[in-house]
Amino acid sequence: MIYLDHNATTPVDPAVAERMAAFLRDHFGNPSSLYPIGRRVKEIMNEARERVAAALGADRGEIYFTGSGTESDNFAVFGTLESRPGRDEFVTSAVEHPAVIEAGKALEKRGFKVTYLPVDRYGTVDLDHLRSALTPKTGLVSVMHANNEIGTIQPVADIVRICHERDVPVHTDAVQSFGKIDVDVRRLGVDLLTVSAHKIYGPKGVGALYVRRGAAICPFVRGGRQERGLRAGTENTAGIVGFGEAVRVMEEKGKKERTRIERLAETLKKGIEDTIPEARFNGHPDNRVKSTLNFAFPGLEAEAILLALATKEIYVSTGSACSEESEEVSHVLQAIGLRPEIARSAIRMSLGRSNTEADVATVLRELPEIVAKFRSMSPFRPQG
């Protein structure tokens, strides 16, 4: 099997699975309990919180565990805007993850003014458009760190500088950048930042939201006093422990493994461009998460390519895993200027730890044959 969909999810690292199994076997206490078995679970949970915080350059008290990256995004958007009455304008980008796009649509139904910033052909937000969009009523700006479909990295630090000059807080979704490029909340300057465990070889069902100390935010889930009163409900303790272990493994493997994956991706990118000249690369040529590759094959259907590759046990994606079952054209690819028929021909390949040089060689053997086969049945003829 050749798995090239690490942006959708990653396999749980064996060390993470072992750590979670041991925790589940030995620790069942409720972290809100005052007696020793509960207090011990809380201690272990806070050790994981410390690991996540350190990896982000944050303090432990600035990390709040949630049930997913999507929940963290919603927590950031709705929690921040609720804390700023009278600030009924929300600014985001046209290429955000559905978690933020759909939050924007929900806000519009509540009477908020929502601005979706346009992007250039690489998927980068235009800072002049951002400046124009900000008003005294802007309550929050949310622009992702790295795009989940095309990998483009946004100028988040510049966005923060512009917004803070206008007293506007900034949230960034770093789910696709955490573990792939350096993510430091102090350098970025953001007020809120989202990460997720299952994108870094941890378990599904657990995310985290960084909230800068002093940033105003209201509870998103109400009830008990868990997560210092901001996210009620008994915590997913095993998932949180797994998150912490996934961060430990990530830090242990370090930049050496990251560089290896990037080199494999670059070999794959160059190989596709050399063997399938009509393939169109989507995303920034340099300023992107290098392990993410998005190619369009004009005249073909991405789903047909995906299914043909799957028969060879090569697994890729046609876009965001959170909207894979939808027949809608990728909003990201449309935002960068692709016509719908071109956008429907695009596949995403995202590499990770399990991938090898042999995997890349196999893909470069199979993919051109599949494209050539479908091309022979298509009326499309590449323009020279």
Which residues are known to be catalytic? 322
Structure tokens at 48: 């994981």
What's the rounded Cα separation, in Å, for the pair 348 and 352?
13
Going by C-beta distance under 8 Å and a sequence separation of 6 or more, which residues neighbour residue 71? Answer: 207, 220
Is 225 within 8 Å of 232 (Cβ atoms)?
Answer: yes
What's the rounded Cα separation, in Å, for the pair 52 and 299?
44
How far is it between the farthest Cα atoms of the chain?
74
Return the SS3 of 265.
helix
The β-bridge partners of 63 are: 210
Return the SS3 of 30.
coil
Positive or negative torsion for Cα 10, 13, 14, 20: negative
CA distances from 340 to 26, 286, 301, 336 (A): 53, 25, 11, 11
> What does the DSSP assignment read for 213-226?
TT-----SB-SS-G
How many CB atoms within 10 Å of residue 133? 18
Structure tokens at 142: 């949310």
Is 78 within 8 Å of 70 (Cβ atoms)?
Answer: no
